């Protein structure tokens, strides 16, 4: 296990380096720059700014400089948000997104797993059809539609839910619902199909032949085998969800990290683009390692190599 | 105490599929005393497993028991609730399945899966159950039982897993063990070991066994009684000697003809039973075997033959036997 974790960390460093390199050069290939705006600034001022941030140097030089300082944990200053480091922006915005996203993932697990199981157990009956239709809708309808519809009904028409900010628990209801809609639907479908598969297995028949009660058979023998696809999906999904959704954050005016991604790209805020990308890549990698370890715990047949 | 451990009378069971009613069991009657070994033989889909499963209340959806009485050890199975059935399953009746590779849950240890059934049906605590599990593994001939208890199914071979399945089945000392083709998925050498183990345990523990198989060799060596099933009916029933040395039904004769023998000459062909099994969605009006029978008469296609008995045990359902017996009776007069 220790050997496996060391190996994964080394591999992770290589992956993050590759992601950083690719992002760095692709981002620099895009025309434009951080200091171009509609209000033209004097060439001298622009040159001074570029010199200050080291943008006047050749690309290879800048790349090497960035990698060296990033390796030392310095991700530089934001080019657009004056006086703030990339790190400070991430540490300030990430907790907000993580809270909304984390709650959403929790909600989708709490709803998705049991509903998927119920659909599988009631296969072909009305309950199954209703759950399947809802799940398909959840996957097909984009989140901005859900946001807008909810905002119109609960925020404007009925006036029972606040439409912006995150001050009270009530504020979380709509953004969390919007964010958890898709994953809930997806988990429901995953759970249903893997549960159906497990229910047909021979060891389920053995469990019944032992005289075990329905609940015990379901929770002990079926669920642990059926949950694996959900574990696989939830790992990376958690990484993406807790780093924030641009759409949901924009609509509900949530000061999260999701908005920063898009703002950084639009404004060619090179250092922030790099910082957020590396941050997301790291999270995804960490989640994948955690998923692998959980996998090993749930299913002893899996060998971590 | 009833005379028989198992007494199934005129069981009828159908599967209600979207295509229509599949009559899986028609008028099946089986009797078994304590400690007896009954073999049920027949081809795939003849109703062997369904008969046994229905006795455990394990008939899979969309199967439905339509009639008949199923008595087991003084219980009226057909009237019992699922909750009452659960107390019997794994306790008084146990089953071993065909494929040991998939019949154990891959994510739990062997120990967990054995102690589970012990703790369910007895009031032993964790430590006692574990001790019992260890004892059972020794009983079924598994070496290093302490190590095995902590292992997972994928760490054991097929033969070992089948031994574990037997250990689970025997955990609560059942009165009846149903073995549903227990050796079909195993190597020939392992097959012999498992069968030997079962017979040994039967003598030690005194349980009755219902052996479901399509291997006549297995029943010949193990069983005292044999029921031959075809298309959801028992077409012939008798002692092992009756079936092998004095088969009456054309299907039984065909089965025996199709086994290779030691005295078979080189280049001599085995005689297969021609044709295909009957479609249970639309069973014929008469004897279900008539379309494949060499000796079929007109009446065979029209009417189901009644039972013809030869002695106490041996009977068949065949018009030919009926005719022979009638002629014999007539010549005596």
Q: Give the 3-state DSSP-derived string for A73-84, with helices as H, strands as E and coil as C.
A: CCCCECCCCCCC
Nearest Cα to B89, choosing from B197, B171, B198? B171
Cα–Cα distance, B268 to B261 (Å, whole number)? 11
Chain B contact for A123, CB < 8 A?
no
Q: Does A221 touch chain B (CB under 8 A)?
A: yes
| Beta carbons of A264 and A161 less than 8 angstroms apart | no
Residue B123: what pLDDT?
92
CA distance A217 to chain B (A): 11
The distance in angstroms from the start CA to the end CA of chain B is: 43
Cα distances (angstroms) measured from residue B33 to each of A177, A276, B206, B225: 63, 76, 11, 11
Interface contact flag, B105 A221, Cβ < 8 Å: yes
A105, two tokens:
């993932």
Q: Based on C-alpha coordinates, what's the Rg of chain A?
A: 24
Classified as helix, coil or strand, B266 is: coil
Say which of B58, B97, B120 has its CB closest to residue A212.
B120
Average pLDDT for A176-192: 93
Q: Cis omega before residue B62 (within 30°)?
A: yes
Q: Which residues pair with B308 in a beta bridge?
A: B316
What does the alpha-carbon distance between residue B310 and residue B236 come to, in Å, rounded to a whole number?
A: 11
Token output for A36? 């171009």
ipTM score assigned to the predicted complex: 0.86
Mean pLDDT computed over A6-31: 90
CB < 8 Å to A298, chain B: 107
Query: β-pairing, B37-41 with B314-317?
Result: unpaired
- Find chain A residues with C-beta within 8 A of B152's C-beta: 300-301
What are the CA-CA distances from residue A46 to residues A42, A81, A86, A263, B69 (Å)? 6, 16, 22, 21, 96
**How far does the CA of residue B68 sit from the closest CA of chain A (Å)?**
22
Q: Compare A7 and A81 and report the one with higher pLDDT.
A: A7
Check CB contact under 8 Å for B106 and A301.
Answer: yes
Residue among B58, B103, B108 whose CB faces A202 most closely: B103
Residue A72's φ and ψ, nearest 5 degrees, are -90, 5
Q: Which of A168, A150, A172 is nearest to A159 (CA)?
A: A150
Which residues are within 8 A (CB) of A40 and not within 5 positions of it... i.e. 6 or more apart? none
At B17 the three-state DSSP class reads strand
Give Cα A160 to chain centroid, integer Å. 29
Which uninterrupted H or E stretch holds B147?
Answer: helix B145-149
**CB-based contact B197:B170 (threshold 8 Å):** no
Q: Which residues contact A299 (CB under 8 A, 6 or more apart)?
A: A225, A228, B106, B107
Q: Which residue has the tokens 């001022």?
A: A45
B85 contacts in chain A (CB < 8 Å): 211
**pLDDT, position B333:** 55
CA B101/CA A118 separation, integer angstroms: 28
User: Chain A within 8 Å of B116 (Cβ-Cβ)?
Assistant: yes
Residues of B in contact with A207 (CB under 8 A): 105
What percent of chain A lies above the pLDDT cut of 90?
A: 40
Q: Mind listing the pLDDT tens digit of every residue in chain B (333 residues)?
A: 568 899 999 999 999 988 888 889 988 999 899 889 999 998 888 889 899 899 998 887 788 889 889 999 889 988 899 899 999 999 999 999 988 889 999 999 999 999 999 999 999 999 999 999 999 999 888 999 999 999 999 999 988 999 999 999 999 999 999 999 888 888 888 888 888 888 988 988 889 999 998 888 888 888 999 999 999 999 999 999 999 999 999 999 988 888 877 777 777 778 888 888 888 888 888 898 988 888 888 999 998 899 899 988 899 999 999 888 888 877 765
Numbers of helices and strands, H then E, in chain B? 13, 12
Q: Kindly report the number of other CB atoms within 10 A of residue A20's CB atom.
A: 20
Nearest chain B residue to A297 by CA: give it.
Answer: B107
Q: Collect all residues of chain B within an 8 Å Cβ-Cβ radius of residue A300.
A: 106-107, 152, 154
Residues 160-219 of B with CB under 8 A from A: 165, 168
Q: Which residue has the tokens 């540490």?
A: A91
Indicate left, alpha or beta for A55 from its phi (over 0: left) and psi (-120 to 50: alpha): alpha
**DSSP for A45-111, written as a single string:** HHHHHHHHTTTTS-HHHHHHHHHHHHHTT---B-SSSTT-BHHHHHHHHHHHHHHHHHHHHHHHHHH
Q: What is the pTM of this model?
A: 0.82
Name the residue of chain A whose CA is nearest to B104's CA.
Answer: A203
Among B56, B117, B154, whose Cβ lies nearest the Cβ of A301? B154
Nearest CB to B87; choose among A203, A209, A211: A211
- Taking one residue from A and the other from B, the number of pairs with CB-CB distance under 8 angstroms is 68
Contact yes or no for B249/B293 (Cβ under 8 A): no
**Is A213–B103 a contact, with Cβ atoms under 8 angstroms apart?**
no
Helix (H, G, I), strand (E, B) or coil at B279: coil
């Amino acid at each position: 296990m220790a050997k496996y974790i060391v190996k994964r960390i080394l591999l992770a460093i290589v992956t993050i380096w590759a992601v950083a390199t690719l992002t760095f050069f692709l981002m620099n290939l895009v025309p434009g720059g951080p200091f171009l705006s509609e209000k033209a600034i004097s060439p001298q001022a622009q040159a001074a700014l570029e010199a200050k941030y080291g943008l006047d140097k050749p690309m290879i030089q800048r790349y090497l400089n960035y990698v060296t300082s990033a390796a030392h944990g310095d991700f530089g200053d934001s080019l657009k948000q004056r006086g703030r480091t990339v790190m400070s922006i991430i540490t300030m915005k990430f907790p907000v997104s993580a809270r909304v996203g984390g709650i959403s993932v929790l909600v989708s697990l709490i709803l998705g797993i049991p509903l998927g199981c119920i659909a599988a157990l009631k296969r072909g009956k009305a309950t199954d059809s209703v759950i399947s239709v809802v799940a398909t809708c959840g996957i097909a309808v984009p989140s901005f539609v859900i946001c807008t519809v909810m905002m119109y009904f609960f925020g404007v028409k009925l006036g029972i839910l606040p439409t912006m900010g995150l001050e009270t628990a009530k504020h979380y209801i709509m953004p969390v619902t919007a964010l958890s809609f898709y994953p809930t639907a997806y988990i429901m479908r995953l759970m249903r199909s893997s549960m159906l598969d497990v229910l047909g297995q021979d060891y389920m028949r053995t469990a019944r032949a032992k005289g075990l009660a329905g609940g015990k058979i379901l929770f002990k023998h079926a669920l642990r085998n059926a949950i694996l696809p959900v574990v696989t999906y939830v790992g990376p999904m958690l990484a993406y969800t807790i780093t924030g959704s641009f759409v949901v954050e924009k609509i509900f005016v949530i000061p999260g990290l999701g908005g920063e991604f898009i703002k950084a790209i639009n404004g060619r805020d090179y250092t922030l683009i790099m910082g957020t990308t590396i941050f997301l890549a790291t999270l995804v990698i960490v989640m994948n390692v955690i998923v692998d370890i959980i996998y090993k715990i749930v299913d002893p047949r899996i060998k971590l190599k | 105490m009833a005379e028989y451990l198992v007494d199934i009378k005129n069981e009828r069971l159908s599967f209600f599929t979207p295509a229509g009613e599949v009559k899986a069991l028609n008028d099946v009657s089986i009797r078994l005393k304590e400690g007896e070994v009954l073999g049920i033989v027949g081809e795939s889909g003849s109703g062997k497993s369904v008969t046994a499963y229905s006795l455990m209340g394990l008939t899979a959806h969309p199967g439905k028991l339509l009639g008949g009485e199923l008595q087991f050890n003084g219980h009226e199975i057909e009237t019992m609730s699922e909750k009452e059935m659960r107390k019997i399953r794994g306790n008084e009746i146990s089953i071993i399945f065909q494929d040991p590779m998939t019949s154990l849950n891959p994510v739990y240890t062997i120990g967990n899966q054995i102690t589970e059934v012990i703790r369910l049906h007895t009031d032993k605590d964790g430590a006692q159950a574990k001790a019992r599990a260890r004892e059972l593994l020794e009983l079924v001939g598994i070496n290093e039982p302490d190590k095995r208890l902590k292992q997972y199914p994928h760490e054991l071979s097929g033969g070992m897993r089948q031994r574990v399945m037997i250990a689970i089945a025997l955990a609560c000392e059942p009165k009846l063990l149903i073995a549903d083709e227990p050796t079909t998925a195993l190597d020939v050498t392992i097959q012999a070991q498992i069968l030997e183990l079962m017979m040994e345990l039967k003598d030690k523990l005194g349980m009755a066994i219902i052996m479901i198989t399509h291997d006549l060799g297995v029943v010949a060596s193990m069983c005292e009684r044999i029921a031959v099933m075809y298309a959801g009916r028992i077409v012939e029933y008798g002692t092992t000697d009756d079936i092998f040395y004095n088969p009456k039904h054309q299907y039984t004769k065909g089965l025996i003809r199709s086994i290779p023998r030691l005295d078979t000459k080189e280049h001599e062909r085995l005689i297969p039973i021609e044709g295909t099994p009957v479609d249970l969605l639309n069973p014929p009006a008469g004897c279900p075997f008539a379309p494949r029978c060499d000796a079929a008469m007109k009446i065979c296609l029209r009417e189901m033959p009644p039972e013809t008995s030869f002695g106490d045990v041996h009977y068949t359902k065949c018009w030919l036997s009926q005719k022979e017996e009638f002629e014999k009776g007539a010549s005596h007069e």
